[in-house]
A and B are shown apart, each in its own frame.
Chain A
Amino acid sequence: MSSPRGSLRFYWVALRAMLVFTAVLGVAYPLAITVVGQLALPTQSNGSLVAVGDNTIGSALIGQSFTDATGAALPEWFQSRPSSAGAGYDASASSGSNLGPENPALISAIGDRQRAIERSDGVSAAQIPADAVTASGSGLDPQISPANALMQVHRVATARGLTDASVRALVDASTQERDLGYLGEPTVNVLALNIALSRL
């Protein structure tokens, strides 16, 4: 083995390498990507923000709550999935529930959500899609399943004094097919649907 001095040399090389790598990979690389993104794809780079009139009201990719100040669901809006991000759809605190399949807290939460939907939407527990009573991984899921949206049509139409048919047509128009026809799942973006609803 070599002398302590030889050993120190490795650290001296390592230190210089780390400084250069930091300048290139930690500063130049992200800045270059930022410049490209801001010039070529500014909408995406800045979060796919959505405006109504002159007001930015959110992001097409980030879900929102459609509840009153106490957190109760507003019947005239399509409801997003349950959320574990902060107090619900807190975009600065993304989180899943991380509750396990046998956790009593999760079992009772699912039961409570089913009973609330049974009351508000007039359906039986067996008719409620799984995504309507489970929290997403991010807590910011912008989408629901088409079945979940269709389930809510009658409630929304009644609360707004519209016909079921007109609201159902809106859901159909807002339903996004799978990417490239086969990737992922068909979805309905809740914010986009509710914006369209507010314009009826």
Chain B
Amino acid sequence: MDTWFGILQVVTLVVVLVALYRPLGDYMARIYSSTRDLAVERGFYRLIGVDPRSEQGWQSYLRSVLAFSAIGVLFVYAIQRGQAILPYSLGLPAVPEGLSFNTAISFVTNTNWQSYSPDVTMGYTVQIAGLAVQNFVSAAVGIAVAIALVRGFARRRTGTIGNFWVDLTRGVIRLLLPLSVLAAVVLIAGGVIQNFTGFTDVSTLTGGTQSIPGGPVASQEAIKLLGTNGGGFYNVNSAHPFENPTAWTNLFEIILMLAIPFSLPRTFGSIIGDRRQGYAILATMATIFVVSLTALTLFELNGAGSAPALAGGAMEGKETRFGIIGSTLFGTASTLTSTGAVNSMHDSYTALGGMMPMLNMMLGEVAPGGTGSGLYGMLILAVIAVFVAGLLVGRTPEYLGKKIGPREIKLASLYILVTPTLVLLGTALSFAVPAIKADVVATSLGNPGLHGFSEVLYAFTSAANNNGSAFAGLTANTPWFNTALGVAMLLGRFLPIVFVLALAGSLAAQDKVPATAGTLPTNRPQFVGLLLGVTVIITALTYFPVLALGPLAEGLN
């Protein structure tokens, strides 16, 4: 019976996403193809000194992305360090240097990893003027880079891939801001708070005391999810009743996370002029999503492991109002996108259940992935897939009329190598270097044995893939983790962007080759199967050994 209600909940989600696919996807295509500027945008371009009609080559586009992000890091760092003198800081002191460094990178890279507990670390001003601003712009940067790559496929014999400042501005003003306003008001109606009153001290029913927090939560919650950011206003993120009060707000928040990433394949199809290509990408994403969701849900409903078996169900770390299926649906959506918000504590999932969020991130967050980053990640895998197919039949691979030559395949391969390198290196260093290991074991691990290893593996997987969720028993506010995870987030975000934009430039410069009888059709189920195979095999070959050391060993014990 309960399971049927759960399935009905998933069906509702699918119906909403299907209904959004065309209008939202086409709307985004118009945003990034339009030659007209809104009056407010023209004013903005004058203020920042940019000519919206000028086009950029990939190097110039990249340097704009990097300059904007570097300024963002400095900005968020400075605002945290100055917290003591800022208004509405709840009397909180300046955020320490190491933590400010980690947090600045975390929010600029769309990761929203939180080494800290916001309840006792970040005042309102840092949250709204520092962190939430990055929630908007880092999401817009992700979409901009994806659109630049799509233009690379769509254009021919040109040196340019668009104008970063225009793409950034339109993403914020025409897409994220209006949708956030709507979403914030809906969330308030559901019970999410929006005030600046600080703590309200009350005397409870039994005569005890309780300090009820305040805060501008709804405005931040909306963009936290819509921009696949995931940084909670409170320590427990969307498990907190003030961030996610009811079962219907829970479903609404899941829709917010998935709406843009699942509609971007339509945008892609529209811009390249062949919408069936978008459906093939969408089908691949949706298949992975359904399989992963089913696995996690079955693991948690089954409730294997000593503690869940003793308690009679895997309810540790889960909220009554969401139940198990409301928790696994949220967890899957959050880790198959780059959101990383949680409405239940992944650290307390069953061993194999806890492996699923890790596996979702290890897939490269492409089903549907973060705002923009999901689409460009999947397009890179598509390039690899046509290359593999080309090897099998001995033809020069092509994708969307573009030849996939040595330069293209090198860039795609480099992209694929970045995050596994960061994840495996970071995890290995944490346990292989004696001084680091001593510190990790003594201060950071929240659980003994194999589960402790999983906490560290989860942390680096989350950071390098810019997800931000955690096995939160890990105490990450230490010099080692603040530094190493900060570096992993930075390289995990911007190295792939370098390769994607270089690829965009190289594709845009090519002419289109006409499709022949020997061209692999990339809009059919056959290609969906190939793309799925490539995605799963790359992930399995890379991560199986390390998963065997942690969650697999714990779960199969």
Contact = CB atoms under 8 A, between A and B. Distances in A.
Q: Do A and B bind each other?
A: yes
Interface string B471-500: 111000000000000000000000000000
Contact of B193 (A45, A99, A106): A45
B529 interface: no
Interface in A93-147: 93-104, 106-107, 110-111, 114, 126, 128-131, 133-145
Contacts of A77: 205-206
Contacts of B75: 18, 22
10 contacts: A34-B219, A57-B202, A92-B211, A97-B345, A101-B308, A103-B451, A110-B307, A130-B313, A137-B318, A180-B248
Contacts of B319: 136-138, 141, 143
A96 B342 CA distance: 11
Contacts of A1: 59
A30 B320 contact: no
B199 A92 contact: yes
A170 interface: no
Given A52-B205, A101-B348, A103-B307, A16 B320 contact: no
A191 B241 CA distance: 14
Contacts of A200: none
B101 interface: no
Contact of B311 (A37, A58, A59, A134): A134
B344 interface: yes
B262 to A, nearest CB: 20
Interface in B87-142: 117, 119-120, 128-130, 132-133, 136-137
A17 B128 contact: no
Interface in A186-200: 187, 191, 194-195, 198
Contacts of A12: 49
Contacts of B310: 107, 110-111, 114
Given A133-B311, A183-B9, A98 B321 contact: no
A169 interface: no
A33 B210 contact: no
A84 B188 CA distance: 26
A135 B314 CA distance: 11
A16 B205 contact: no
Q: Which 5 A-B pairs have the closest CB atoms?
A: A184-B247, A130-B313, A101-B305, A98-B473, A137-B239
A91 B446 CA distance: 22
A40 B188 CA distance: 10
Contact of B216 (A17, A30, A52, A191): A30
A182 to B, nearest CB: 5
A66 B204 CA distance: 9
A26 B194 CA distance: 14
Interface residues of B, number: 121
Contacts of A100: 307, 347-348, 351, 354, 447, 451, 454, 473, 554
Contacts of A165: none
Interface string A15-29: 111101110111101
Interface string B1-31: 0100100110010000000000000000000
Nearest to B316: A134
A47 to B, nearest CB: 5
B271 to A, nearest CB: 25
Given A103-B447, A103-B448, A98 B317 contact: yes
A98 B205 contact: no
Interface stretch (B62-70, B279-287, B356-364): B62-70
A131 B320 contact: yes
B48 A16 contact: yes
A74 B262 CA distance: 50
Contacts of A158: none
B379 interface: no
Interface residues of A, number: 102
A49 interface: yes
A99 to B, nearest CB: 6
B191 interface: yes
Interface centre among A16, A100, A191 (most CB of B within 10 A): A100
A159 interface: no
A67 B457 CA distance: 39
B177 interface: yes
Interface string B240-283: 11100111101100000000000000000000000000000000
A11 B212 contact: no
A92 B357 CA distance: 28
Interface in A58-98: 58-59, 61-68, 74, 77, 81, 89-98
A93 B184 CA distance: 24
B316 A106 contact: yes
Given A64-B206, A90-B211, A130-B312, 18 more contacts: A14-B70, A16-B47, A24-B177, A26-B133, A38-B195, A47-B214, A62-B241, A65-B204, A77-B205, A97-B345, A99-B473, A100-B307, A101-B451, A102-B307, A106-B348, A182-B5, A183-B326, A187-B321
A3 interface: no
A82 to B, nearest CB: 9
Given A102-B305, A139-B236, A11 B205 contact: no
A37 B246 contact: no
Given A34-B194, A58-B202, A95-B236, A64 B210 contact: yes
B146 to A, nearest CB: 20
